[in-house]
Structure 1
Amino acid sequence: MKPKTNSVGTIELTFEIIEIVKERGEAGVAEIAKVLDQPKSTVHSHLSTLEQNEYLVAENGSYQLGLRFLDLGEITRKRKKIYREGKDEVEKLAENTGELASILVEEHGRGVFLCRPKGENAVQLDSYDGYRIHLHTTAAGKPILAHKSKAEIQRIIDYHGLPRRTENTIVDTDELFEHLTEVREQGIAFDDEERLRGLRCVGAPIRNGEDEVVGTVSLAGPTSRLQGDVFHEEYPDLVQQAANVIELGITHG
């Protein structure tokens, strides 16, 4: 993760426009120009270029993201060995538990879900494949933070902060470092309604052949089902077993 330095203004504006269209679903020239405080002519030029190159689609005066992003995203995902080796295992985990399973990796100090297969009882959440989260808010992200150096963790905190998602989110730096020490020692992470109220999650690290943590596997579900031995013993065992299988595939596959 690097700070934004020496960026090219026109390119950065293009990405800001893409982000606005993504967040709003669709947006027109005037709306985007107002948000960015840019001339309509400048915004229109960027939008037209993106449309001509098939990254945006124009419809009734508004612009939407084009399916070319889907092509790029799927190519990127399939190049990740952790995805290729782990996809079937987390799908099996979701099917066997009925809950929401996931593989998460870190990029630029944020967590990115590579896949989120749903079991038959899985809750509907705000997240999806490719969704980015703050690592400190969930059991899917904590093992990644826990195996970074203190300096690396601090850089992520300095850049992204420790935003509060619920009243249970850890937002104090000292408390987080203490908590991450426990995660590292136990080899398992718990999220007790720290990202979403009513949701619990269990996560375990996935290591490569050099013993580096390259991602996590996790299970998430409502507090009504993830409690007692299920939350503290059964599901932790299952995610650790899944992580072990994925690690073997990454190392020897």
Structure 2
Amino acid sequence: MEQPPKTGRGIKSDETLFALIESLRELDGAGVTELAERLDVAKSTIHGHLTTMREHGFVVKHGTDYHLGLGFFDYGQYVRGQQSIFRSGMQAVDELEEATGEMAWLITHENGKAMYLYGRGGQNDIDINTILGTWAYMHCNSGGKAILAHLPEEQIHAIVDEHGLPARTENTITTREALFDELAQIRDQGYALNLSEDLKGVHAIGIPLTFEGEIQGALSIAGPAHRLSRARCEGEVLDQLRAATDEIELNLAYR
């Protein structure tokens, strides 16, 4: 997928609106004064944006604070439903969770980052709803690396230029040379590992999902390192992932 160019010629009022939405998310709701001070924008401007969004169902007001509304959920559900791998992969993810007892994820990508499109939690005390729909750096995510390995080289360079290679743990790849070496290995072996590269004590394995020669996303299994060892990843779990991938790609072909 091509990344949209950043021209710096965006409309200022739109930039303010998106900054406002992001602030409401980060603050878990806020009042006009707090938002105006945070964004260094006039209170009248903030109030105008909030009034318009409230009229269209994108914010709600509780007391003096504004919060993001369910209008965003409606659009988010629509966008996710438009993803062919979502429609084709849900059942396979459910079956993987049941078979492995670990977290199973369907991952896609856009603008140089990976997104958790659908998942199941396995035998873990993790609320996956806090992860679904969030972005992840691709260089330290098993599904992200599986996707990166199947993108054109110039696009990978552009992604690194834009997002960098931030260290999430001491195991994270942080140089282009190391990244390209690993991507070559991933292409050869057909899967990507994340051995505590994103979160300490968490291992994951991802396999690319392709259709008609184009990368569509990835399927991954993640869990605590003591349970999801490298040997298990590259043994039974890899076999289960490959079978699920075949199922998803077959579904893609007949949808």
Tell me if both proteins adopt one fold, taking TM over 0.5 as the criterion: yes
For residues 48-84 of structure 1, the C-alpha deviation after alignment (integer angstroms, 9 at most, x for no partner) is 1111111011112111110111111111111111111
Structure 1 residue identity aligned to 2:193: F
Counterpart of 1:162 (choices 161, 165, 176) is 165
Counterpart of 2:132 (choices 123, 129, 134) is 129
Question: Cα distance, 1:125 vs. partner?
Answer: 6.3
The alignment status of 1:53 with 2:52, answered yes or no, reads no
Structure 2 residue identity aligned to 1:178: D
| CA distance in 1: counterparts of 2:99 and 2:125, whole angstroms | 15
The equivalent residue for 1:86 is 89
| CA distance in 1: counterparts of 2:63 and 2:241, whole angstroms | 47
Aligned residues: 251
Whether the aligned pair in 1 keeps the contact of 2:121 and 2:127 (CA below 8 Å) is no
The equivalent residue for 1:36 is 39
| CA distance in 1: counterparts of 2:39 and 2:78, whole angstroms | 31
Q: Under a length normalisation based on structure 1, what TM-score does the superposition of the two structures give? A: 0.95
| CA distance in 2: counterparts of 1:107 and 1:61, whole angstroms | 36
The equivalent residue for 1:238 is 240
| CA distance in 2: counterparts of 1:174 and 1:196, whole angstroms | 22
The alignment status of 1:9 with 2:12, answered yes or no, reads yes
Question: Cα distance, 1:228 vs. partner?
Answer: 4.9
Whether the aligned pair in 2 keeps the contact of 1:99 and 1:219 (CA below 8 Å) is yes
Matches within 5 A, 1:218-233: 218-233=220-235
Of the structure 1 ranges 25-34 and 86-95, higher mean CA displacement relative to structure 2 is found in: 25-34
Structure 2 residue identity aligned to 1:29: V
The equivalent residue for 1:18 is 21
| CA distance in 2: counterparts of 1:195 and 1:125, whole angstroms | 18
Whether the aligned pair in 2 keeps the contact of 1:141 and 1:216 (CA below 8 Å) is yes
- Aligned CA RMSD, in angstroms, stands at 1.4
Question: Cα distance, 1:154 vs. partner?
Answer: 0.6
Whether the aligned pair in 1 keeps the contact of 2:140 and 2:197 (CA below 8 Å) is yes
Structure 1 residue identity aligned to 2:33: A
| CA distance in 1: counterparts of 2:127 and 2:144, whole angstroms | 17
The answer for unaligned runs of 5 or more in structure 1 is none
The equivalent residue for 1:66 is 69
| CA distance in 2: counterparts of 1:70 and 1:29, whole angstroms | 23
Whether the aligned pair in 2 keeps the contact of 1:95 and 1:118 (CA below 8 Å) is no
Q: Under a length normalisation based on structure 2, what TM-score does the superposition of the two structures give? A: 0.94
Whether the aligned pair in 2 keeps the contact of 1:113 and 1:131 (CA below 8 Å) is yes
Q: Secondary structure at the match of 1:15?
A: helix
The equivalent residue for 2:217 is 215
Whether the aligned pair in 2 keeps the contact of 1:191 and 1:201 (CA below 8 Å) is yes
Aligned sequence identity (%) = 37
The change in CA–CA distance for 1:180 and 1:188 in structure 2 (over 3 A counts) is same
Matches within 5 A, 1:149-188: 149-188=152-191
Whether the aligned pair in 2 keeps the contact of 1:123 and 1:222 (CA below 8 Å) is no
- Structure 1's consecutive aligned runs of 4 or more residues displaced over 3 angstroms after TM superposition are none
For residues 91-133 of structure 1, the C-alpha deviation after alignment (integer angstroms, 9 at most, x for no partner) is 11012211110110111111111101122x1341675221111
The change in CA–CA distance for 1:15 and 1:108 in structure 2 (over 3 A counts) is same
Whether the aligned pair in 2 keeps the contact of 1:14 and 1:46 (CA below 8 Å) is yes
| CA distance in 2: counterparts of 1:240 and 1:8, whole angstroms | 46
